[in-house]
Structure 1
Amino acid sequence: MQLETDKLFKGFSSLTTKVTPKIEVAGLQITDSLIRYTLLKENGEGRDFALRPAPGVIVGGKVANRLELTKILKQVHKKASISKRKPSSIILTVGIDSVFIRPMILPAGSSDALSESANLNLRMQSPIDSNNAYYDWQQIDISARQDEQIEIIGAFVGKNIIEDYLGPIHEAGFNVAAVEFITLSLIRAAVNDKIIEPNRPYVVLDLSPEGINFAISHNSSLYFHYFVGWDVFRDQDKTISTEKFKSGLSNEVRRIVNFYSANVKDQEIRDMLIIGTSFVPEITETVQRSFPGIEIRTSDPNVLNPARGAAIRGLIPRSQDFDISLASLSAIEIFQKDQLANFVSIWRNVVLATMTFIMFLFFSTALVLRGNFVNVGQTSSLNQDVPSPVEIASLEKKANEFNNLVNLVTSIRAQRNELYPLLEALNTLAGDEITITRYRFVASAPDLTLNGTSISEDAAVEFKERLEGQKQFSNVKLPLNNIRTESSGGISFSITFTVDSLDFGE
């Protein structure tokens, strides 16, 4: 997880946030037996509904029939009454069958050092080949620790598993803001809705048609999870016997409680949350008999479910979303990409509307002036009066000012799409070692001043040389007095150059 990405285009993102409408982000849960869509709004309104996929569409948390999944997701898009002109973003939450998680403890440090340490540990401890995996991490409640260590939770999943979901989702008309999994979503919803207390560890049992999702809530965060299918409790005749179910359930609860006790000192699990409608009395009786010290709460899955947890995350501003996202782009990078595209689209419409208004004003003014000239002519023929030179000069001055305004707006319209290629080209030239913090254009000349930070002075000089190598730029200058060493150890610099051309090709 890259904590530095929130600095990228910080000023530009602030501007676009003020002038573009907030993008609504819904929660979309996809499991073997259920697809649920939940949209929450700050005013309390929203939408929540579920569809049942046909058997064989999703099997074991993996897409088995891409075509059928695309069809049902298009039904979800239509049922959600989403306009084709309005961006529609979702946070996807999937089953945990193939999602691995690991709690880790890292030494405290700066955000950069923590990010590097976390990503290094994720690659080293990944249960699958890191080249074929999506992995990410998030920090567990920092207020819960008083020492010099930081708790994180890392998550891993095969790339192919997630890509098989993303294709049908995009084909159905959705943008994906983040990808997570159902236990992470459930813990978030339970804490948000005050169903579980944030500072007390809980065992969470989510009963689904596929089996039981076991999870541990620790300091308001998911700490551990695993999945147990109903087949574990079946006899040879494929039926679930009461005795085998109770015995197997006791063993699984004991397993997860012992895991927590072995990894977290000075805390003990004494609370359990059961989410489901089937087997709830049997589970309650079994747990109370085998673990008399555990207090049990229950919740209806129609009220507390993963889609709701993902939708709660959707209410968080995209630029402040640092939770796990198992996809090729982090939630913040996706936000910046969509925000830029939305900004260009909005202002294209604004410019067109402004041009239409000005043209209407132009023709209206022409008609009024023509009527005035007719009246003046008629008056002159009756009174033999000639307009004074002062009046004629005043009218000519106003006409020239109006024509200049029309020419200015026409020029703005002609250049409205040229800013995006320039910014994209500069961002590509910057690479991973340069962070651009500010652009400043000179309105009366094609000059541009660019402020940024780098990891070293050499990196800044190399960036200058890359700019000099572009035929679209000239007069590239990086004075030594514009290179400064910051207290953090990084380098800040200021480069000026002339933009000779905005044609960067494809």
Structure 2
Amino acid sequence: MKNLVKLFMREEPIAGLAIDERSLRLMLLGPDETDETKTVIKIAAEESLPEGVVERGLLKNPAGLAASLQKLTEKTGYTPTYVVLSLPSELTYSKIFYFPKAITGEKLEETMMVTIGFNLPVKPEDVYLDWEKLDTERNELFLATIMKPVADSYTTALEAAGIRTVALESHLASLTRVIDIKTKSPVLLVDKSEKSTAFAILKNGIIRFARNVPKKLGEAELALEIKKISDFYESDDSAIAETIDMDKARIATKFAEHPEIKKKSQAWMASAGAAMRGLLPRGSDTLVSLLPVGTEKAYEFQKGMIFTRFISDVVIGISAFFIIAFLGSWLLIASIGNNLENQVSGLASLPLAKDAIAMEEKALRLNNLSAAVADITKVSPRWSKLFEELRKSTVTGITISSVSISSPSANISINGIGKTRDQMNAFRKTLEDSPVFSDVKLPISNLDKRTDIPFSMSMRLEKLDFLYIN
């Protein structure tokens, strides 16, 4: 009940969880206890992942991830019910699409659906995809995708640990909310690791370009790649104002002073950005989420699951109450019955008055008469059952004018009018299929009439005991 109230009162917190090859990072934000208008870090904890659990972003060992999640929650004393999950950017594909400003609303959605089929590097049915309209002067949509098995492997592992994913996004999408960039002009981010080199261009907090090279680049290769990307982007937009090495990137000031984050702030950007998204009201979160359903529907589904469990607990509780009440009533009635039986036994030993003897004789005669009536009822056919069966078998367009039968074993004759011959045949077929009737006959007559055709048909009862009380 407590969880249900918290959920519907929007008290259920949503944490940010970032996963990479080396570690898990969990962050939970919430209002300051002394000033609810301020947001502070409630929890910031990390746990290393054993080698081989995640390779090139892919989850290879779900059991290893579960063990690290267990250590992380034990370390913090907190197991999140809901998380915004942030995964390595190399697992996702993103692109911005431009459309004429005249295309809006449902037409824009329809146009995007058609466009996707011709522009994705993979089949649309093999990925989870989502898009959002960008707040720019041009009519732009930002699209992101992730392979279904990849996303499912992570969400299934979290679900097994009791953690539900309400939104899934890339590290790059998460860090755009918290990276400290002073300029509104395009900025090129370069993220170097032992196995890959990632590039991204941000402008006003929007991902304008993203590329991942699956190897570590040397200095000359890196410089050449930066020049190619800059030239490509600048041919369609303004010049790159700054190139930022992610090893030297700064996190927003409100996070930077936290003792856990201060050591390596750039490593906390993805989880901090995911936690920032967790503060958004679920009903208004229209950001890209790479799940089978959108963020709003995913959260509503999770609320529905909790509500269902709550109702199930209530039903079980009410059922238990009625079972106990039934047992109590049964014991009470049994006790009263025993008392009455004892009293009747006591009365039986007393001498009977003359009036009591006369009343007993009348009761016996009444019982005998009731038994005789019951016997008569059993051998008397209940014609209402026949008429009820005929009523249920009558199809549209058939009007029965008369039914005659002399005895249960005799032929049943039916006269009526059929709207069409097809309806008359359908009526005959319904009677033939009925387990009650047999030997159904519908002679062909009035061949000159196409509608409102008089007919006479006959049949018999399949089982005579159908008309009697068992």
Bin for the TM-score computed over the shorter chain: 0.5 to 0.7
Give the counterpart letter for 1:156 in structure 2. Answer: T
Counterpart of 2:246 (choices 248, 253, 275) is 275
Matching residue of 1:314: 278
CA distance in 2, matches of 1:205, 1:274: 5
Indicate whether 1:218 and 2:182 are aligned.
no
Whether contact under 8 Å (1:118, 1:137) holds in the other structure is no
SS in 1 for 2:198: strand
Q: 1:275 is aligned with what amino acid?
A: M
> Is this contact kept in 2: 1:276–1:301, CA < 8 A?
no
Secondary structure at the counterpart of residue 91 of structure 2: coil
CA apart distance, 1:208: 4.2
1:228 counterpart letter in structure 2: V
Partner residue of 2:213 out of 214, 228, 238:
228
Whole-Å separation in 1 of the counterparts to 2:314 and 2:193: 49
- Of residues 240, 251, 254, the one that matches 2:227 is 254
Q: Counterpart of 1:174?
A: 163
The normalised TM-score by structure 1 is: 0.53
1:99 aligns with 2:63: no
1:127-276 alignment, distance < 5 Å: 127-140=121-134, 142=135, 144-145=136-137, 149-190=138-179, 195-197=180-182, 199-208=184-193, 210-233=195-218, 245=219, 247-264=220-237, 267-276=238-247
Q: Deviations over 1:323-353 (max 9, x none)?
A: 1111112111011112334456678889999
Alpha-carbon distance in 1 for matches of 2:183, 2:304? 36
**Is the 8 Å Cα contact of residues 89 and 171 (structure 2) preserved in structure 1?**
yes
Q: How far has the Cα of 1:315 moved from its partner?
A: 0.8
1:339 matched to 2:303? The reply is yes
Q: Confirm or deny: 8 A CA contact 1:215 1:225 kept in the other structure.
A: yes
**Alpha-carbon deviation of 1:55?**
1.0
Q: Tell me, what secondary structure is at the counterpart of 1:263?
A: coil
Paired letter, 1:118: M
Render the CA deviation track for 1:99-126: whole Å, top value 9, x for unaligned. Answer: 1111111233443222222233223211
Contact 2:195 2:216 survives alignment (8 Å): no
Aligned to 1:61: 57
Identity of aligned residues (%): 22
Alpha carbons 1:211, 1:230 under 8 Å: kept: yes
Write the deviation string for residues 387-443 of structure 1: whole angstroms up to 9, x where unpaired: xxxxxxxxxxxxxxxxxxxxxxxxxxxxxxxxxxxxxxxxxxxxxxxxxxxxxxxxx
**Aligned partner (choices 33, 43, 46) of residue 42 of structure 2:** 46
Q: Which residue of 1 aligns with 2:11?
A: 22
- 1:31–1:94 Cα contact (<8 Å) kept: yes
Alignment of 1:282-321 (within 5 A): 300-302=264-266, 305-321=269-285
Q: Which runs of 5+ in 2 are unaligned?
A: 33-39, 251-262, 319-470
Q: Call closer, same or farther: CA 1:277–1:202 in 2, change over 3 Å.
A: closer
2:98 partner SS: strand
- Count matched residues: 297
Q: Contact between 1:122 and 1:135, CA under 8 Å: does it hold in 2?
A: no
Question: The residue matched to 1:179 in structure 2 has which SS?
Answer: strand
- Give deviations 1:465-492, integer Å, cap 9, x for gaps: xxxxxxxxxxxxxxxxxxxxxxxxxxxx
Q: Say whether 1:328 aligns with 2:292.
A: yes
Structure-2 change in CA distance of 1:222 and 1:80 (3 Å): farther
Matched, 1:118 2:112: yes
Q: 1:89 aligns with which of 50, 66, 82?
A: 82
Q: How far apart, CA to CA, are the structure 1 residues paired with 2:300 and 2:15?
A: 18
In structure 2, the CA distance between the partners of 1:348 and 1:210, relative to structure 1 (3 Å rule), is: same
Q: Secondary structure at the match of 2:89?
A: coil
Query: CA offset at residue 170 of structure 1?
Result: 0.8
Counterpart secondary structure, 1:74: helix
| Residues 137 and 80 of structure 1, relative CA distance in 2, 3 Å threshold | farther
One-letter amino acid of the counterpart of residue 252, structure 1? E
Change (3 A) 1:227 1:19: closer
- 2:131 maps to a residue whose letter is W
Structure of higher CA gyration radius: 2
Q: Secondary structure at the match of 1:205?
A: strand
Pick closer, same or farther for the CA change 1:104–1:16 going to 2, 3 Å.
Answer: farther
Task: For residue 20 of structure 1, report the CA deviation from its aligned partner.
Answer: 2.7
8 Å CA contact 2:177–2:273 kept in 1: the answer is yes
Q: Are the aligned partners of 1:100 and 1:157 in contact in 2 as well (CA < 8 Å)?
A: yes
Give me the whole-angstrom Cα distance separating, in 2, the residues matched to 1:20 and 1:277. 41
1:21-73 C-alpha deviation (Å, 9 max, x unpaired): 43211111111122111111132141112111111111111111122122212
* Residue type of the alignment partner of 2:19: I
Paired residues of 1:105 and 1:150 also in contact (CA < 8 A): yes
RMSD, aligned CA: 3.2
Which residue identity does 1:103 align to in structure 2? I
The amino acid of 1:316's aligned partner reads L
> Once the two structures are superposed, what CA deviation does each residue of 1:158-184 show, in whole Å capped at 9, x if it has no partner?
111111111111111110011111111
